Every structure is written in structure tokens, then in C-alpha cells.
Amino acid sequence: MRDAGMERAVTVATERDVGRGEGSGGVLRGPGRIASKEYYSIGEVCEITGLKPHVLRYWESQFRLLNPSKNRAGNRAYRRKDIQLIQLVKHLLYTEKFTIEGAKQKLEDIRRSKETGVELPGPEAQKAALMHSLRDELEDLARRIEEFHARRRPLAPPAGGREET
């Protein structure tokens, strides 16, 4: 189940936070910007995502899809796709208020829909349906108000405020 809005939010956040080949591959000076490179350390990922290292390590134990490789020294080496997945998990848990189990199920649904190519309705589709429904209700209310005023006009006194006798 690929939620377009959620995917856009994660992609925008990641593209904003992961630079494009600037510098020598180290952390750049600025608000959470990092040079584009193949691998990122846990510290760099924490800077990009705003999460603490223990949170990332816990999520790795809970989400089997989140499995960064390790370098020769045994340190975690995250790729851009790992950072995008972390951003998605963060969005599900902190913004959408999913439980860990709910987020696991959502990620599994997303994985399955990618395999089958089935697009399930997500928050953007729900928002569009809600907006359409609200627009219909507002149009109906406007029509009813206009009908009410049309029926009321013959009863109103003529301009000038006095009734003719």
C-alpha cells in the first residue's frame, strides 16, 4: 500500500536532509545537511533524522526491513534507502501515531503492494474524498440557505421599513 502523501513526505524530508555531493563526504555545516555518499554512520543518520542512536538500534530489532549493513569494524553503515525507511517508520510512529505493531503491518502492506502493483487508498486519497464530500455538503447548505431566503423575501416589509396600509 503505497501512500503517495506519505511517500512524498519521506522523500522530501530525505532529499532535504541528504545533500547532493557537496563537500568531501563529511558532515556539512548547516541544519542537518550531509553530503551525498554511499554510506552513512549512525551518528550521521541521527543528525539527518533527529533520532537518538538507541532509538535506531531498537527499531532495527523491531523492523526486519531495517537492517543496515556493517563495515569491517562492525559499525552500522546506512544507505539512502535505509534512511528513507527510517523516515517512513518515524512518520508512521510519530506523525500517524501507529503502534510498533501497526507500523510493522503498514510496512508489510506497502511491501506487498509493491510486489503486486496494487495501489491501496492512503491518506491522500482519503483527504481528497473528504474534501469532495465537504464541498458537496457546502454546496447543499448554500442552496438551502438561498431557498430559505427566497421564501422569506415575500414576507419581508418593503424597503423603507414600513408596511403599506
At 131 the pLDDT is 74
pLDDT tens for the chain, 165 residues: list them. Answer: 445 555 554 544 445 444 433 333 444 433 345 457 889 999 999 999 999 999 999 999 999 889 999 999 999 999 998 999 999 999 999 999 999 999 999 988 888 877 666 555 566 666 666 677 778 788 888 888 988 888 877 665 666 666 555
At 54 the pLDDT is 97
Please give the distance of CA 102 from its chain centroid, rounded to a whole number: 16
pTM score, whole prediction: 0.54
CA distances from 162 to 72, 151, 152, 159 (A): 95, 20, 17, 8
Please give the distance of CA 52 from its chain centroid, rounded to a whole number: 21
At 140 the pLDDT is 83
Helix (H) or strand (E) holding 55: helix 53-62
Q: Let me know: does 26 contact 16? Beta carbons within 8 Å.
A: no
At 162 the pLDDT is 61
| Number of C-beta neighbours around residue 3 at 10 A | 25
At 148 the pLDDT is 87
